Structure 1
Amino acid sequence: MTAPTARERILAAVPAQPSEAAMTDRTTWQRVDLGPVLDGTHSAPQPTIGRRDDGAGLFYPGRLHSIFAEPEAMKTWLALTVATAELALGNAVMYLDFEDEEGGIVSRLLALGAPAAAIAERFHYFRPDGPLGDAGRAALAPYLTSPTTFAVIDGVTEAMGLFGLKPKDDTDVAGFWRILPRWLAEQGPAVLLLDHVNKDRESRGRWATGSQHKLSGLNGCAFVLENITPLAPGQTGKSRVRVAKDRPGQVRKNALPGSNGALHWFADFIVESQLDGSALVSLPAPVQRDGPFRPTALMKRVSDALATAREPLSVRGVLDRVSGKQDAVRRALALLVDEGYVSVTPGARNAQLHESKRPFTDSTD
């Protein structure tokens, strides 16, 4: 008698009729009723958590979202701005912090105008230092019911490390998604994951550091924050908010297409640091401008390179310091000269030496 094949063993383990328990247990392996879609009563999910200045929403309840950003792009500030708005509406927020500590988070909430009483009562802060497990779920569960509408996981790469998982492994990323973020979303709140982007702007595309599954596993929105002006005490920080993914499609429709294949431009996030320690924030909608395309992001990088150089730079010196297509860098440099941001003086061997006259701050594209 020959041994059963793997397929035969699997089929033999399936009962001819489902048990009574199987008939009543909740499972995702149930037939989906398509009637609401067919009769026109089905409605698309709407982003109701977090608002742009004009009222357009950012995050979908019960779905997974992410913000990928370089350091100093203010991704935590943006998450806490949404948290402050939810607290003002009388809702609750869960914050799982794998990067910072409570002092830094609470000080920002206070700076944003969140009342101390609301923070104490409805801002549920956790700082785990190990895997989730049954005990962790039991600790989180009481704070995931209504009125909790927003849950943040700050530091995805660090969280995966605590779970013993590798951020660059698709299987590990998918496993982490099931263990924590998806479980949180199943309880009802919009879930936001804060993560880092690859440092190389030219090669990173839309992806966070590590696995591509960090993006494909999302069923809500993914945003990329591009830092324009770093936030500093007494100064204003500004980052561009771009849409890298929008599964339901209700966020991207309120964004402007990017230039030359860039991601859709959803908003600018502006934080104005005040002398009294408070912060004024705004999230204005993008503005469509007429006229020829100006590579403003590249112009700023060229301007920054000239501003930090110890001496005036030749065209070759600029090309060596600013990554990108050489023709595009040359065009950005020429526009800076034409618009009075950069001066040109003759150098040795007919070289043209470029020096910053004033910083370039116009970031629209």
Structure 2
Amino acid sequence: MTAGNEERRPGGAASKVISVVAGDTKDSTTGQSWLPVALDGVVAGLQNGTLKRPAPTVGRLTGGSHWLYAGRTNGLAGESGCGKSWAALQAVTTEMEDGHTAVFVDFEDDEVGVVARLLSMGVDPGVIQARFVYIHPDERFIHGKPYVDAVVEQRKPSLWVIDSTGESMALESCDPNSDDAVATRFQLS
């Protein structure tokens, strides 16, 4: 039997449902930032056009649509050998075809393997030379940050691929099972 606004979950754990008055303000020093966000204005703004819907603009697909969101972390997850690197290289290919620079930070292969894949995908050698930046780090990011900053400033890439995040976390001595460590690692990228 449960009382009030508590609900019993399997295993005996209880969750509490709290009612909040709409329009409550949030204060980041009191934990109120965890209050639900009122969405009426967002729904109305997206419907009437006063808010712009996020749209993917990177990684062109056949037909002209895109599948990756600029300025956001877009992740590909799957078992080893399922095609994540190929999918990432396809996005790299379309970015370069569209006149943009793409960066490939590689912890798994080498430059011969990656460039061979791009050539087998039909990418023009001149496009690879002009618009593809290949980085193969073997030391922590803190040591390479000035070089990465220079790439951003000089080349202004539209896409960064990190292949693979598992290996990059290992290089940083990051525990992939620690949410705090993983969050810190992704903030470096």
* TM-score scaled by length of structure 2: 0.70
- The CA distance in 2 between the partners of 1:102 and 1:148, in whole Å, is 18
1:137 aligns with 2:157: no
Equivalent of 1:153 in 156, 159, 162: 162
Q: Encode CA deviations 1:159-205: one digit per residue, 9 max, x unaligned.
A: 1011011111111111101122xxxxxxxxxxxxxxxxxxxxxxxxx
Deviation per residue, 1:293-315 (Å, 9 max, x gap): xxxxxxxxxxxxxxxxxxxxxxx
Query: Gaps (5+ residues) in structure 2?
Result: 1-40
The farther-off stretch of 49-58 and 167-176 is 49-58
- Pick the structure with more strand per residue: 1
| Ranges in structure 1 where 5+ consecutive residues have no aligned partner | 1-35, 181-365
SS of the equivalent of 1:67 reads coil
Tell me what 1:122 maps to: 131
Identity within the alignment, %: 33
**What's the counterpart of residue 47 of structure 1?**
56
Alignment of 1:255-294 (within 5 A): none
Residue 111 (1) aligns with residue 123 (2): no
Measured on the aligned residues, the alpha-carbon RMSD in Å equals 1.9
2:71 partner letter: G
* 1:60 corresponds to: 69
Q: Read off the aligned partner of 1:118 and give its amino acid letter.
A: V
1:3-14 correspondence to structure 2 within 5 Å: none
Q: Give me the whole-angstrom Cα distance separating, in 1, the residues matched to 2:54 and 2:152.
A: 20
Tell me if structure 1 keeps the 8 A contact 2:105–2:135: yes
For 1:78, give the aligned amino acid. A
Contact persistence 1:160–1:167 (CA under 8 A): yes
Cα distance in 2 between the residues matched to 1:147 and 1:89:
14
Is the contact between residue 60 and residue 95 of structure 2 (CA under 8 Å) also seen in structure 1? no
Aligned AA for 1:139?
Answer: Y
Aligned pair count? Answer: 144
Task: Answer yes or no: is the 8 Å Cα contact 1:94–1:144 preserved in 2.
Answer: no
| 8 Å contact kept, 1:47–1:58 | yes
Q: Distance in 2 between matches of 1:72 and 1:164?
A: 24
Secondary structure of 1:69's counterpart equals: coil
Q: Indicate the residue corresponding to 2:85 in structure 1.
A: 76
Change (3 A) 1:172 1:147: closer
Q: How much does 1:52 deviate?
A: 3.0
Secondary structure of the residue aligned to 1:73 is coil
Measured in 2, the distance between the counterparts of 1:52 and 1:92 equals: 17
- Specify whether residues 90 and 51 from structure 1 end up closer, same or farther in structure 2 by C-alpha distance, changes over 3 A only: closer
Residues 155-304 of structure 1 aligned to structure 2 (within 5 Å): 155-180=164-189
CA separation in 1, counterparts of 2:141 and 2:68?
25
Aligned to 1:96: 105
Q: Write the distance in 1 (CA, Å) between the matches of 2:84 and 2:118.
A: 14
In terms of Rg, which structure is larger? Answer: 1
SS for the counterpart of 1:144 is helix
